[in-house]
Amino acid sequence: MRIMIRIIWFLVLLLNMNEASSQLDRIEPPFWWSGMQRPTLEILFYGNDIAAYQPSSEDIKIKKVDRTTNPNYLFVTVETAQQPTTSSVFTFSKENAPDITVTYEFRERREGSAARKGFDASDLIYLIMPDRFANGDPSGDSHPEMQENADRSQQGGRHGGDLRGIIDHLDYIENLGATAIWSTPMCEDNDSQGSYHGYAQSDVYRIDPRIGTNEEYLELSNGLHQRGMKLIMDYVTNHWGLEHWMIKDMPDEDWVHNFSEYRQTNHRMTTQLDPYASERDLKDCIEGWFVPSMPDLNQTHPKMLTYLIQNALWWIEYANLDGLRVDTYSYNNRETISQWTKAIMDEYSSFNIVGEIWMHHQAQIAFWQKNSKIGALQNYNSYLPSIMDFTLHDAIIEVFDEQEPQWNSGMVQVYENFVNDFLYPDTHNIMVFAENHDTRRINEIYPDIADYKIIMSLIATIRGIPQVYYGSEIGMRGRKSQGDGDIRRDFPGGWPEDELNAFEISGRDEIQNQYYDFSARLFNWRKKSEVIHRGEMTHYTPEENVYVYFRSLADQTVMVVLNPNKDSRELDPERFHESIEKYTKGLDLISEEVIDLNEKFLIEGKTAYILELK
């Protein structure tokens, strides 16, 4: 009988243990690191009625315990200044209920982690949409936990590209001359349709299982670092997807911005700066939802802001990231996004973050860069190191098809873009680009490879950090008017069933190889060209629609001549004497032609010269 009682007691205890273990469904962050500069860590414990329990620990000091209106959440803030290097045990107690015991792991940081150096002007960034780049593991195209399956016949559907596909083609990207990869979001996006782009995330601590695993993302990072390359994560602070587990069971009603009825953002980001803006317009901009499937996050909720800060720090530390690109940066509440940015930069002082500021005036973009004098006029500092040069992009998509440029059209629009550089606190830390995954494809706008060569010559030699979009280096096209899916076409050769493989010389046709050969030559030259990375710039007002500028550093000078006209133009070097100085010859990077700088010379129509002066 005594043995039977013991067996029954054991079974009851085991049942209670199982009930206790099932009490917690999630713990976020899932683990943390010793030695972080941030003095506290707020751990989210989620489970049925967990707020009814009281947490305690003998291993780590609990500073604060917060509960929300939802009893399934418990936020426990611990002091991490002297936390263990291995683990801490938390016990959750409730009267007339078995205790819940949880071991929380602390890991040791990589050596020099806090001093990591982010991407900078020495880099050339290759932008990839992973679902459309390469399918390295077709077995993962669909997943039982995910709603949407792969179907390449659907332009706006999932096509199956994944992390393995990127990892398998790192040699291609490196040989092209890129030094960093920015990928659109890879965290789980469980929308029932259109989930391929990743911007409606449903779990921000998990790589989407159709793309791969967290471990494969770390493998990508390691593979890049072994090549001396960098990894930039696309981070979204403004919104999640409706399928996010916290949206389905929110901690508080004001976890996201709510209205009596659905209200979309008015996209008027200028209201953030406008001294005359109505409160209604400003509220609609920063609190309106981007689309009906993307709830707008309320960063003024202190738990939300802390959650986003810790999540970003977690990914930087876990995946050994070299930078973040922040989506829709200027849609966020400007005070809270500056706190988020500062928290990350305080932890990693040499890190880099570039914000998407899709605005159309240099003063409005410059407002958002760290230590902006324009921002200071409103007592504001974003702490954002880098911004995106959308005004240069605006000029590029217009100027190269000007048939008869006037006083204020043609290449002068590019020139005028740089005239306004005095507005920026740090012109070397500006991302320059001709296109990205949201814009029109430049090879669709300008189908002549000669235009592509001029545009890439500009992007690769001007001040800032160049970014190129996957596939443009082989002439890929796409019509924005046909939907975003068309500007995000599959890279040919990325799928086992593809007839042609553009990752290989033999798989590219003659025109594709012309695009690739030019791009690789230009980008690999830039990789080694310190005068382009750090050199000062002098430019000259365009004459006859020809734009000339110089980059100079110590005893190195590069002269760039861009002639988008159909006809040739004659240049007199005497006009540029102050920049040419003692130099007598210029060696063109692409043609290897030697230009005599002692006499006038012709530059053919639709041609760019990148002259290393001798």
Residue 10 confidence (pLDDT): 39
Strand segments (E) across 419-494: 430-433, 465-469
Return the higher-pLDDT residue of 102 and 6. Answer: 102
The confidence score (pLDDT) of residue 84 equals 67
Q: Which two tokens stand for residue 387?
A: 């911004």
pLDDT tens track for 471-521: 999 999 999 999 999 999 999 999 999 999 999 999 999 999 999 999 999
Quote the percentage of the chain above a pLDDT of 90.
93
- Residue 405: which pLDDT band, with cuts at 50, 70 and 90? confident
Q: At what angle do helices 412-419 and 390-399 cross, to 10 degrees?
A: 170
Alpha helices, H only, 162-213: 163-168, 170-176
* pLDDT at 14 (0 to 100): 38
Mean pLDDT throughout 346-362?
98
- pLDDT number for residue 430: 98
pLDDT at 600 over 90: yes
Lowest mean pLDDT among 141-155, 325-339, 392-406, 506-520: 392-406
Q: Is the pLDDT confidence value at 559 over 70?
A: yes
pLDDT in tens, 264-321: 999 999 999 999 999 999 999 999 999 999 999 999 999 999 999 999 999 999 999 9
pLDDT of res. 406: 83
- Considering just the CA atoms, what is the radius of gyration of the chain in Å? 27
Can you list the domains of the chain with their CATH numbers? 2-108 (2.60.40.10), 117-528 (3.20.20.80), 536-613 (2.60.40.1180)
- Cis link prior to 29 (omega < 30° from 0)? yes
Residue that the structure tokens 């509220």 belong to: 283
pLDDT averaged over the chain? 94
pLDDT band at residue 390 under the 50/70/90 scheme: very high
For residue 386, list its beta bridge partners. 354
- Span 436-463, pLDDT tens digits: 999 999 999 999 999 999 999 999 999 9
Residue 493 has a pLDDT of 98
**Prediction pTM value:** 0.95
Structure tokens, 466: 């160049």
Inter-axis angle of helices 302-319 and 214-226, to 10 degrees? 50
Q: Is the dihedral of CA 317, 319, 322, 328 positive or negative?
A: negative
pLDDT of residue 1 exceeding 60: no
DSSP state of 473: G
219 or 22, greater pLDDT: 219
Asked if 512 and 502 touch (Cβ cutoff 8 Å), the reply is: yes
Rounded CA-CA distance 257/239 in Å is 10
pLDDT band for 4, please (50, 70, 90 cuts).
Answer: very low
For the chain, give the longest Cα–Cα distance. Answer: 111
Question: pLDDT class for 404, splitting at 50, 70, 90?
Answer: confident
Query: Among the options 188, 203, 327, 389, which is catalytic?
Result: 327
Is 451 considered catalytic here?
A: no
**Res. 15 pLDDT band, cuts 50 70 90:** very low
Confidence of residue 260 (pLDDT cuts 50, 70, 90): confident
Confidence at 403, pLDDT banded by 50, 70, 90: confident
Residue 208 has pLDDT above 90, yes or no: yes
pLDDT at 8 over 70: no
Q: Could you report the per-residue pLDDT of 52-101, keeping only the tens digit for each?
A: 999 999 999 999 999 999 999 999 999 998 766 789 999 999 999 999 99
Q: Which secondary-structure segment (H or E) carries 205? A: strand 203-207
Place of tokens 């790192």: 170
Buried b (16+ CB within 10 A) or exposed e, 359-376: beebebbbbbbbebebbe
Q: Which of 148, 296, 356, 435 is catalytic?
A: 356
Distances (CA, A) of 330 to 7, 36, 44: 63, 28, 28
Q: What is the mean pLDDT of residues 338-345?
A: 98
Mean pLDDT of 142-158: 96
Indicate if the pLDDT at residue 3 is higher than 80. Answer: no
* 407: confidence class by pLDDT, cuts 50, 70, 90: confident
C-alpha torsion sign, points 421, 426, 429, 431: negative
Mean pLDDT of 353-366: 98
CA distance 184 to 233: 7
Reply yes or no on whether 254 is catalytic: no
